[in-house]
Amino acid sequence: MKNYYDILGIDKKASKDEVKKAFRTLAHKFHPDKKGGDAEKFKEINEAYTVLSDDQKRSQYDMYGQNFAGATGGNTGGFNWQDFASNPGAGGFNFSAENFDFGDIFANGFDLGSIFGGRQRSQTKRGRDISIDIELSFEEAIFGVERAILLNKVSVCHVCSGTGGKKGTEIISCQTCNGKGKIREMKKSIFGSIEMTRACNNCAGSGKVPKEKCSSCDGLGILKKEEEIKIKIPAGIDNGEMIRLSGGGEAVKGGTSGDLYIKTHVKKHKTFHKEGNDLVMNLDVKLSDALLGAKIDIQTLDGLSTLNIPEGINTGDILQIKGKGVPEHGRNRGDILIHIRVALPKKLTKSAKEAILKLREEGM
């Protein structure tokens, strides 16, 4: 079985930029039109790049290996590499790879599938995701809390609400793309001159622009600023759990904002730990209380609660305080589970020893 990562000489955790960089280097080296090129090796390199540069195909390949649908020949459209190796000018291709810079086409998100009859991918622009960490007390994690945080990020302009135009200004056709929202460009590649279409930078692909620009963002519709964001921490959240705030990331002109990811770090409690919707604690009980029974005040997260210790309780027994545990969906609550540990005295007074000897004589 071919290992696409080995073919490109990269680690399995390599980023998309690293995949692209490795492909450019190897494709330039082994291109069959170059002296010392290798058509079979070039085909293999392209096959590996076709899979590893596509998030969905890469995920399937990582899971199933080459057995996943579309692992081989995914974007080739039946292209005959043997013909290309023996006659690089076949099929209308007539281009020398000498001193060719692959960055000319790949820097613009070029898709190899467009060469072989596939469609060029059209994706909506999306802002950068942001990830932050937040520390919570044990009580805040149990009952939930609302936090306000300050983030310095690229946001939608509050003056023009992202339109980029002065309030009340006329919206006109973009002069750069003549209102089409797209610009066609000719790029040279190893396969010849290829026509590519990209979104117009001036209007962000909309084909429309404001006649007068917003003075706050200079017509961009976005700007970097400090923004207060309120985060609702749900009751019962666990340590290390992630909260996703859709649209809370950075904004981008002509697209959608990224997301904000909040990772929670919950401080440990001196008494309780969480098991599902229950709070669990240990309780040391004096021998006399274990034998005779007692009433003990327990400090819960809601305040003091009285716990009845029954006569004859043993180490390992579990007592329960109902309805004082973790809230479930804001309504029902779990319980407090109390693990009993009977504390035996290390030394006995003379009278205590005599009493215990008497109990022994009675067979207890």
Q: Which domains does the chain have, with CATH numbers?
A: 4-114 (1.10.287.110), 123-162+220-267 (2.60.260.20), 170-211 (no CATH), 273-361 (2.60.260.20)
160 labeled binding residue: yes
Residues, the chain: 364
**Minimal CA–CA distance to 31: which of 101, 92, 78?**
101
337 labeled binding residue: no
203 labeled binding residue: yes
How many CB atoms neighbour CB 363 within 10 A? 5
345 labeled binding residue: no
15 labeled binding residue: no
Residue by residue, DSSP assigns 167-220 as: TTPPEEE-TTTTTSSEEEEEEEETTEEEEEEEE-TTTTTSSEEESSB-TTTTTS
By the 10 Å C-beta count (0-12 exposed, 13-18 middle, 19+ buried), 326 is classed as: buried
The answer to whether 275 touches 326, Cβ cutoff 8 Å, is: no
Distance CA 283, CA 345 (A): 16
How many CB atoms neighbour CB 323 within 10 A? 11
pLDDT in tens, the chain (364 residues): 578 999 999 999 999 889 999 998 898 888 887 777 888 888 899 889 988 998 888 888 887 665 554 444 433 333 444 444 444 444 444 444 444 444 444 444 444 444 444 444 556 788 999 999 999 999 999 999 999 999 999 999 988 888 888 888 888 888 889 888 888 877 776 666 777 788 887 887 778 888 888 988 988 889 999 989 999 999 999 999 999 999 999 998 888 999 999 999 999 999 999 998 999 999 999 988 998 999 999 999 999 999 999 999 999 999 999 999 999 865 689 999 999 999 988 888 888 888 888 878 887 6
302 labeled binding residue: no
Structure tokens at 338: 């109390």
Predicted TM-score (pTM) of this structure: 0.58
Distance CA 334, CA 320 (A): 10
The answer to whether 338 touches 318, Cβ cutoff 8 Å, is: yes
